[in-house]
Amino acid sequence: MNIASRQSTDPEAAPTPLAERILDAFPSGSYALSALLRLLDIVESRSIPTAAVECLAQPRLLINPDFVAKHAQTPEKLLLLVMHELHHVLLGHTTLFPTVTPSQNFVFDTVINGVISRMFPDPEYTSFLTD
């Protein structure tokens, strides 16, 4: 999972079935859903191997549908994937640096995985990080 540096395109695009699955994966009343809707557009992209958020003032969540089909089939795993990427935005990782080095991204990912593992400690969620 990476932070991406890409240019935004069509902000008017209709939600895809994957975007709808992502929104449905969030528990009702979740602060994270509100943050997701405020901060990110969800864009399916096979140009990235997993998922990423852009290093832009208004980032998009880029998510590879093939990766989701293989590694995030359940709502719980999909939620953890999206929460991971959302935390890059919430923690300022998309605005701290114009580009992110692999070492910085590794540290960011480690911190985020620790945070979301504590938020969602049940195996149906954390198995996304261990499978």
Domains of the chain: 2-130 (3.30.2010)
- Tell me the whole-structure pTM to 2 decimals: 0.76
CA-based Rg of the chain, rounded to a whole angstrom? 14
Of 35 and 123, more confident: 123
pLDDT of residue 81: 95
- Helices in 42-122 by DSSP H: which ranges? 65-71, 75-90, 93-96, 102-119
Residue type for position 43: V
Query: For residue range 39-79, what is the model confidence (pLDDT) as tens digits?
Result: 668 889 999 999 998 877 788 889 999 999 999 999 999 99
pLDDT (tens digit per residue) in 110-130:
999 999 999 999 999 999 999
The token duo for 48 is: 């990235």
